Amino acid sequence: MAQLDTPTPSGGASADEPNGPDGPGAGTPRWSDRTGRWRRGLWPAGLALALALLLTLHSRLPNRIGNVGSLLETFLPWCGLAIPVLAGCALLRRSATALVALLVPALVWTNLFGGLLLDKTAGGGELMVVSHNVDADNADHAGTARQISESGADVVALQEVPQRALRTYEAELADAYPYHAVEGTIGLWSRYPLADVAPVDTGMGWTRALRGTVNAERGPVAVYVAHLPSVRVQFRAGFTAERRDRSAELLGEAIAAERVDHAVLLGDLNGTMNDRALAPLTSQLRSTQGAAGAGFGFSWPATFPMARIDQILVRSLEPVSSWTLSATGSDHLPVAARVDFR
């Protein structure tokens, strides 16, 4: 008896080709497809390599147009968020090429910032210092002063202290800190005697920095308190940081001429340690957060910290621990550190 052939529906797959060109799974990336998994996902792989180049060569990005290099360096750690996003794209595309390419920016980011994620804090510390931009628009200056007084610091540096609130700070801090000096909106409070207090010229036309000698138990410490000019991101002008950069140069020159071996810089520098514009300071001073902190220590804005622009930098002192204090009424978090004398 003759057997009739059953025609295959137009465009369908035969029983021998369940995953043929038009069968189930057609057009769906599969890990078992060895050739496809290396060819797919070229665009996320390319973006991953571009990210690695950006992280590696960020210092080569020119500042001539809108200070774009400094702007990137201010938020450089956040570039790492692109890595899990690109990883998700690679997994969706089931691309081995993209996943391998992602190892490059992951390793570069870890080399740059992985050390900050380690807890390097230790006990002890012969001198504790605190720096805080108290915010001129702070609605609770008295409460802010009390929090600072209760921190246990030996030396306190305050920035942006409005004249209307100065007496409040002086009254609230008087018991814990019998010695203090104020220049403009910058203040220095200390448990130890102060000497040689004088303003430091930062090219602003009014006082935004001061220098004083704290006569601590282990010897004199030159303490600089500074509030460098603010920066802005504007549509046409870009990252307006020229005044801050010039002030950093002048402050760096003053510190370079400092004759006291032990020195501390406390203040709102409106820049991070990655920002090349702060090189006049970072080239001769050591960050306590990088040396003895746990995490990035972001200090601004207080509601959702995204950058560490409040700094404690030292010379000839050994950082033991570094951290941020609880929020006050300011838009900045206070930063603190303990150091030992070398």
How high is the pLDDT of residue 291? 96
pLDDT of 23 over the 60 cut:
no
Q: Is the pLDDT of residue 12 over 50?
A: no
Q: What is the DSSP string of 261-278?
A: SSEEEEEE-SS-TT-GGG
- Over residues 33-49, the mean pLDDT reads 79
CA-nearest of 192, 234, 185 to 212 is 192
| pLDDT for 194 beyond 70 | yes
Unique residue bearing structure tokens 């180049």: 53
Say how many residues make up the chain.
342
Buried b (16+ CB within 10 A) or exposed e, 181-191: bbbbbbbbbbb
SS3 68: helix
| Token pair 């040689």: residue | 196
- Asked if the model's pLDDT at residue 60 lies above 60, the reply is yes
- Which run of H or of E encompasses 46? helix 42-56
pLDDT tens-digit profile of 147-170?
999 999 999 999 999 999 999 999
Overall average pLDDT of the 302-330 stretch: 98
Q: Write down the pLDDT at residue 14.
A: 45
Q: Which residues contact 43 (CB under 8 A, 6 or more apart)?
A: none
Q: How far is CA 239 from CA 24, 259, 308, in A?
A: 54, 35, 17
Of 190, 154, 183, 149, residue with least CA distance to 169: 149
Residue 309 has pLDDT above 50, yes or no: yes
What is the pLDDT, as a whole number, of residue 16? 44
On whether the CB atoms of residues 149 and 173 are closer than 8 A, the answer is yes
pLDDT at 321 over 60: yes
- Would you give the end-to-end CA distance of the chain in angstroms? 105
Strand partners, 318: 340
Q: What is the pLDDT of residues 264-283, one digit of tens each?
A: 999 999 999 999 999 999 99
pLDDT at 217 over 70: yes
Amino acid at 167: R
Tokens of 148: 């600072």
Q: At CA 228, angle to CA 206 and CA 130, rounded to 5?
A: 110
**pLDDT, position 218:** 95
List the structure tokens of 34.
Answer: 């060895």
Report in angstroms the alpha-carbon separations of 255 from 4, 212, 224, 291, 311. Answer: 98, 12, 8, 20, 15
The CATH H-level superfamily of 127-341 is Endonuclease/exonuclease/phosphatase (3.60.10.10)
> What is the reported pLDDT for 298?
98
Q: Could you give the 3-state DSSP secondary structure of residue 193?
A: coil
Domain ranges of the chain: 34-117, 127-341
Does the pLDDT of residue 200 top 90, yes or no?
Answer: yes
Q: How far is CA 126 from the centre of its chain?
A: 26
Tell me what percent of the residues of the chain surpass a pLDDT of 70: 87
pLDDT surpassing 70 at residue 142 = yes
Choice among 4-8, 214-218, 274-278 with the minimum mean pLDDT: 4-8
pLDDT for 33 = 59
Check whether 34 has a pLDDT greater than 70: no
Does residue 216 register a pLDDT over 50? yes
Helix (H) or strand (E) holding 288: helix 288-292
Q: What is the mean pLDDT of residues 98-119?
A: 96
